[in-house]
Amino acid sequence: MSIRHTTKARRGAAATALAAALALAVAGCGSGDGDKKPDDAADRTSTASKDGGGDQEPAADSSKTIGEMKGPGGIVVTLHSAERDDGGFVTVSATVTNHGSRLFNAIDWRSKETEVKSLSSVSGASLVDEKGKKRYLVLRDTDGQCLCTTGLSGIKPNESRPLFAQFPAPPKSVKDIDFQIPTMPSVSITLSG
């Protein structure tokens, strides 16, 4: 077999492998419900990051409160859960409520990174383990988007919106941790799971 035929065969094999990989990737992104949990972080990412509007699902078990942060302008963040996931992550679920008299935009809650694309998100949130002297930042995907609620702009007076942020999990020995959002006082919470 000549080098020319070998090269063509290799290109064909590479193209076939690439097509198969793309087909698997697309199938993995499908909309099938399968055995997915209703409060899965991927579900919250898709609803929270699209338009920041009214079709977002409520935060996980909003009747439960594990902490509360009161900030300037009548903004209150009520924390509902901070759960360890099997994959080594911690997902914090909360509700932000505007008790003030003006529209609220979470532009000051974003991180200072230039790669993060959303202008109004909780990408600047962090978990702080004071005993272990470690800070855990919101995770990012390969496109520079935070694994957190985005589109937190135009929150009207007396309006509430769900929010979440996903972090790398601290060691299992860490049970109590501080949750922080820029411009808000930190709050100590207990991790579950």
Query: How many C-beta atoms surround the C-beta of residue 88 within 10 A?
Result: 8
- DSSP character string of 126-148: EEEETTTTEEEEPPB-TTS-BSB
* Report field, pTM of the whole predicted structure over 0.85: no
| Distance between CA atoms of residues 82 and 99, nearest Å | 24
| 148 pLDDT higher than 70 | yes
- Best-predicted range by mean pLDDT among 20-34, 67-81, 140-154? 67-81
Q: pLDDT tens digits, residue range 51-91?
A: 333 334 444 567 899 999 999 999 999 999 999 998 899 99
What does DSSP say about strands 75-84 and 89-98: parallel, antiparallel, or unpaired?
A: antiparallel
Instruction: Give the pLDDT of residue 155.
Output: 94
Task: For residue 121, list its beta bridge partners.
Answer: 150
| Distance between CA atoms of residues 48 and 154, nearest Å | 14
